[in-house]
Amino acid sequence: MRLGIMGGTFDPIHYGHLFVAEESRVRFQLSSVMFIPNGLPPHKQGCEVTPPEDRYAMTEIATASNPYFECSRIELVRSGPSYTIDTLEWLERERPDADLVMITGIDAIAEILTWRRHQEVIQRTTFIAATRPGFDIQYLKDRLPTDYLSRIATIGSTSLGISSTDIRARVQAGSPIRYLTPDGVAEYIKEHRLYLSDGSDMSNPSDVGDPLSAIAASHAVAAGRGQKERTEL
CA distance 187 to 173: 16
Considering only 57, 61, 130, 189, the residue that binds ligand NAP (CB under 6 A) is 130
CA distance 119 to 215: 60
Residue type, 158: T
Contact 3, 32 (CB under 8 A): yes
For ligand NAP, which stretch binds (CB under 6 A), given 25-33, 143-151, 162-170, 202-210? 162-170
Considering only 4, 18, 33, 38, the residue that binds ligand NAP (CB under 6 A) is 38
Considering only 138, 159, 165, 203, the residue that binds ligand NAP (CB under 6 A) is 165
- In the complex with ligand NAP, the residue whose CB is nearer, 13 or 202, is 13
The angle formed by the CA atoms of residues 131, 117 and 150, to the nearest 5 degrees, is 45
What secondary structure letter does DSSP report for 105? E
Question: What would the DSSP string read from start to end of 132-154?
Answer: BTTB-HHHHHTTS-HHHHTTEEE
Range 166-195, binding ligand NAP (CB under 6 A): none
Considering only 63, 104, 125, 131, the residue that binds ligand NAP (CB under 6 A) is 104
Q: Is 159 a residue that touches ligand NAP (CB under 6 A)? A: no
Which of 174, 152, 164 shows the shortest CA–CA distance to 18? Answer: 164
- In the complex with ligand NAP, the residue whose CB is nearer, 69 or 115, is 115
Q: Is 107 a residue that touches ligand NAP (CB under 6 A)? A: yes
Q: Is 12 a residue that touches ligand NAP (CB under 6 A)? A: no
**Residue 23 neighbours by CB distance under 10 Å:** 17
Footprint on this chain of ligand NAP (rule: CB under 6 A): 6-9, 16-17, 20, 38, 41-43, 82-84, 103-105, 107-108, 115-116, 130, 163-165
